[in-house]
Amino acid sequence: MTEVRWLEEPRGQGTCWGVPWPRGTVAPGTPFALADGTPLQSWITATWPDGSVKWSAHAIGPQELPAESYDVVPGRQPAVPASPVQVVRDGDEVRVSTGPVTWRLNRPNLITAIEYDGRAVARDVRLISLRRDSPDEGGSIVQTQTTAQVERITVEQEGPVRAVVRLEGRHGDWLPFSVRLVFYAGAPDVRIMHSFVWDGDAGQDFLAGLGLAADVVLRDEPHNRHVRLAGLEGFLTEAVRGLTGLRIDPGVDVRRAQVTGRPVADPGVGSRLRFIPTWNDYTLDQTTADGFSLRKRTAPGHAWVTIPAGTRSPGYGYVGDGQGGLGFGLRDFWKLHPTRLDIRGAATDLATATVWMWSPSAPPMDLRCWHDGMGQDTFEDQLEGLEITYEDYEPGFGDPRGIARTHELTLRAHAATPATDELAEHATMLNSPGLLTASPEWLLAANVFGVWGLPDPEHQEIENRLDFLFDFYVRQQEQRRWYGFWDYGDVMHTYDPDRHTWRYDVGGYAWDNSELSPDLWLWYQFLRTGRADVFRFAEAMTRHTGEVDVYHLGQWRGLGSRHNVQHWGCSCKQLRISNAAYRRIYYYLTADERTGDLLDELTTPEHTFLAIDPLRKVRTDVYTPDPGALSVGLGADWGALAAAWLTRWERYGDERARDRLLGTMADIAAMPRGFLTGQARMDLATGRFDTSVDAISVSHLSAVFGLPEIVAELIDLVEVDGFERVWLDYCRLYLATPEEQAAEVGHPLQGISLIQAHSRLAAYAAARTGDERLMRLAWRKFQLDEGDQLNRNALQRETNWRLTTITGPGVLMPVDEAAFISTNDAAQYALAAIQLLAHPHPHLPPLTDPS
């Protein structure tokens, strides 16, 4: 049995979460229940090599009074909801009933009808898009509107607590999409996960609008029809025909009833009712992270009337009457700007509510390359350019074709217009959806995700620095406005203290794109602390880096793009960025199906090495990707392969993935130099390495893209003869003295850098072997030695590890600066700290002792 608690406050909505189990403790086929009898639906998301359950996923429906915590009990049959969610296939139609609400799904739209107690609430829920042939830079513009077509409907889960239906299709002749509709027993709402892949021509295709629309049935008189649009703290609260503020007062009872959404039988104004205008159309337009505008009009062809504007809308709205209505919204609405909420036709019998994921008011989406290449037509010139702006440019490689974005939306059926406090709770649940989590203590005891431990009060100064780094990036996200459709979730790479800004416009110093594993830093910090704010920050990064920074179709499918001014701009397309290690923690904690899709895209990750040679610009040998002899680095490359194979094996029991994982582990162990070999040739047909090469090639980047974390998992998970030995050799020798290196391998190792980052490797080897001298070396390299900014600043506590507030005419707005921090250093400092603190470390010197 294990206890799970709410990540934030208890939420009265259906939710899904994951729980790990120690190896051998839960047999396959074991049922799960909640100790208090709450109905539960469960499934397995990962198994240990012995077949026992490693991760289980669970779902509960909405609770009127949710408990503060629940106990998940293996071996007990679960309770079933009094009214289970029902999924019925009737010809081409899929009908889902969640209690009072029935959802009818049929092609070509997403949902053909929504009924509450048999009464029609809404119909024709559909995806729409606007496409232009010009970015609106002058000249003629051709714009076309398309209603997306659903081509396939697949029922993935069908109750009794939770049902999931996947719909796939295209936005006309471009933009393939997948949508998951998630239903819970007793819930009047549906969670909508919309993912689309960009497959247009960036030079001539410009997305001018992307939305989800639904037609809402209206029956009552206009004064009993209601519109609600969420502002920063409350709602625009209006009737289609207002009865307040009139020259003739209809009476306090009438006014109060209308404002609260209750029916008004007699408007109290007699025949003059016909002279009160009806407001047909409403728009809330979130053009930036800092402001939204509101407007309404009586009918098309008439002027818009402006409504007082606001700053950040939670992105939730409602339209309906006393006989039914529809709530609708988009999660992270203002963070994903430009976004918009529309209500059209509210004065007619059929209003249309539209949630725009890209607002038609904004300039069309322009994904063309941000510069003209500046003459970098040859590898020689590109390498020269790399030396000045750190951008790895190559003509044609800044192509967005294949990148993706996922949005989370909601629709909620109502029997009548709800109170605004109820709508406010719905908006809160949309933006902070309920999630149950096991405690850090339980996660640690389950022995998942390798080397990490709970916060260590004996080293509070390091814990304070870990908090400082995380809080700093949260602050930077807000102050630097790291928001927007394509940008939200990422952070910047390097700072420019001269301009008091991050290097957003300098080649490879701009968006980070998972460089040196900030994703892993955030997830390990959450595992050990259970902090909700850390989880939400890591969640947004995982959504972004898994979608925007990775190609999901086309020639680079399965690869990601290195850091750049544009997320897809770099010519370095590698598996280290699409790394399964950056997604799997979120997947197992949440059982999120979309993240599962991203992991499924890496079913055969080794095939990506046929697409492009990562070392093509710096090779001294003659090489073209060959299925019989693919060049694979044993660091960042193999680490990403291993993460993908491991995840595939534990999720599906995939024997092919298992054999390639264990086989390559054995091959690395058989190489004369083990991990020090640096590179090896793989036969794609067998998935095995050529073990005959006897060479040494060390890169400072090999162990900073998840390799140490995955290897630690593997060593705990399986026993492959010699594998641990060659990994410990690498860990020992990387930070050894040149004399010690030469004594073992014949000459000092070249390419040693990122000293602080690699301290965790030495600490790992020390912990496995009991070598106290090596552990002391690891701590010294982490705390005091040369080579890393965060290291050098460790001795200057009075002036560093603090924020400096910059104000005045030299900055756009006041900002807090920590010029000594780069994301590379922050991520690797944090991972090193977390892992060193997890090892036994007796008699360590204090932080300020340079000896």
pLDDT in tens, 503-525: 999 999 999 999 999 999 999 99
Q: Is the pLDDT score of 832 beyond 60?
A: yes
Q: Is the pLDDT score of 799 beyond 60?
A: no
Q: What residues contact 28, with CB distance under 8 A and at least 6 apart?
A: 44, 47, 51, 52, 53
Phi, then psi, of 238 in degrees rounded to 5: -140, 155
What is d(CA 688, CA 711) in angstroms, rounded to the nearest whole number? 18
Q: Is 302 exposed, middle or buried (0-12, 13-18, 19+ CB in 10 A)?
A: exposed
Which helix (H) or strand (E) is 195 found in, with range? strand 189-197
pLDDT value of position 310: 96
Helices H / strands E in the chain, number of each:
18, 37
**18, amino acid identity:** G
pLDDT value of position 137: 74
Structure tokens given for 227:
């519109």
Strand pairing category for 15-20 and 53-60: antiparallel
- Span 449-838: which CATH code? 1.50.10.10
**598, amino acid identity:** L
Grade residue 841 by pLDDT with cuts at 50, 70 and 90. confident
Q: Which residues pair with 40 in a beta bridge?
A: none
Q: Is the pLDDT score of 850 beyond 50?
A: no
CA 124 to chain CA centroid, Å, is 29
Q: Is 133 exposed, middle or buried (0-12, 13-18, 19+ CB in 10 A)?
A: middle
**Share above pLDDT 90 across residues of the chain, in percent, rounded to a whole number:** 94
Q: What is the pLDDT of residues 589-647, one digit of tens each?
A: 999 999 999 999 999 999 999 999 988 999 988 899 999 999 999 999 999 999 999 99
Can the peptide bond before residue 418 be classed as cis, meaning omega within 30 degrees of 0? no
**Within 13 Å, how many C-alpha atoms sit on residue 330's CB side?**
32
pLDDT value of position 847: 45
Contact 408, 191 (CB under 8 A): yes
CA dihedral angle for residue 396, residue 401, residue 407, residue 413, rounded to 10 degrees = 150
What is d(CA 696, CA 634) in angstroms, rounded to the nearest whole number? 11
Q: What residues contact 126, with CB distance under 8 A and at least 6 apart?
A: 109, 110, 147, 148, 212, 213, 214
Q: Is the pLDDT score of 792 beyond 70?
A: no
Grade residue 376 by pLDDT with cuts at 50, 70 and 90. very high
CB 600: neighbour CB atoms within 10 A?
Answer: 13
Q: Is the pLDDT score of 390 beyond 60?
A: yes
CB 621: neighbour CB atoms within 10 A?
Answer: 6
Q: Is the pLDDT score of 387 beyond 60?
A: yes
Q: What is the pLDDT of residues 429-472, one digit of tens each?
A: 999 999 999 999 999 999 999 999 999 999 999 999 999 999 99
Which helix (H) or strand (E) is 834 found in, with range? helix 823-838
Q: Is the pLDDT score of 414 beyond 50?
A: yes
Nearest-CA neighbor of 57 among 13, 17, 1? 17
Grade residue 20 by pLDDT with cuts at 50, 70 and 90. very high
| Location of structure tokens 């988009």 | 330
Look at 242 and 138; give whichever has higher pLDDT: 242
Nearest-CA neighbor of 848 among 588, 459, 304, 476? 459
In 3-state terms, what secondary structure has residue 638? helix
Q: What residues contact 282, with CB distance under 8 A and at least 6 apart?
A: 227, 229, 236, 238, 294, 295, 296, 341, 342, 343, 346
CB 361: neighbour CB atoms within 10 A?
Answer: 16
Structure tokens given for 404:
């993706």
**54, amino acid identity:** K
Contact 126, 146 (CB under 8 A): no
- The 3-class secondary structure across 259-314, one letter per residue, is HHCCCCCCCCCHHHHHHCCCCCEEEEEEEECCEEEEEEECCCCCCCEEEEEECCCC
- The domain ranges of the chain are 2-74, 128-265+276-367+398-417, 449-838
Strand pairing category for 162-171 and 235-239: unpaired
**What Cα–Cα distance (Å) separates residue 466 from each residue in 119, 469, 475, 525, 774?**
54, 5, 14, 8, 24
What is d(CA 145, CA 130) in angstroms, rounded to the nearest whole number? 5
Q: What is the pLDDT of residues 236-282, one digit of tens each?
A: 999 999 999 999 999 999 999 999 999 999 999 999 999 999 999 99
Length of the chain: 851
Q: Is the pLDDT score of 829 beyond 80?
A: yes
Mean of per-residue pLDDT scores for the chain: 95
Q: What residues contact 410, with CB distance under 8 A and at least 6 apart?
A: 189, 190, 191, 192, 327, 328, 329, 331, 426, 430
In 3-state terms, what secondary structure has residue 92? coil
Can the peptide bond before residue 108 be classed as cis, meaning omega within 30 degrees of 0? yes
DSSP 475-487: HHHHHTT--STTT
Nearest-CA neighbor of 167 among 139, 206, 195, 130? 195
What's the rounded mean pLDDT across residues 664-690?
97
What's the rounded mean pLDDT across residues 767-779?
95
- Span 128-265+276-367+398-417: which CATH code? 2.70.98.60
What is d(CA 819, CA 272) in angstroms, rounded to the nearest whole number? 67
Contact 130, 108 (CB under 8 A): no
Nearest-CA neighbor of 821 among 408, 461, 491? 491
- Distance between the two ends of the chain, CA-based, in angstroms? 48
**201, amino acid identity:** D
DSSP 3-62: EEEESSS--SS-EEEEEE--TTSS-TT--EEETT----EEEEEEE-TTS-EEEEEEEE--
Q: Is the pLDDT score of 150 beyond 90?
A: yes
pLDDT value of position 138: 73
Q: What is the pLDDT of residues 189-198, one digit of tens each?
A: 999 999 999 9
Q: What is the pTM of this model?
A: 0.97
What is d(CA 778, CA 785) in angstroms, rounded to the nearest whole number? 10
What is d(CA 681, CA 631) in angstroms, rounded to the nearest whole number? 5
What is d(CA 407, CA 109) in angstroms, rounded to the nearest whole number? 18
Phi, then psi, of 223 in degrees rounded to 5: -75, -10
In 3-state terms, what secondary structure has residue 738? helix
Q: Is the pLDDT score of 797 beyond 60?
A: no
Structure tokens given for 783:
């705390």
Q: Is the pLDDT score of 537 beyond 50?
A: yes
Look at 209 and 785; give whichever has higher pLDDT: 209
Contact 371, 569 (CB under 8 A): no
What is d(CA 849, CA 851) in angstroms, rounded to the nearest whole number? 6
In 3-state terms, what secondary structure has residue 726? helix
Grade residue 851 by pLDDT with cuts at 50, 70 and 90. very low
Q: Is the pLDDT score of 796 beyond 60?
A: no
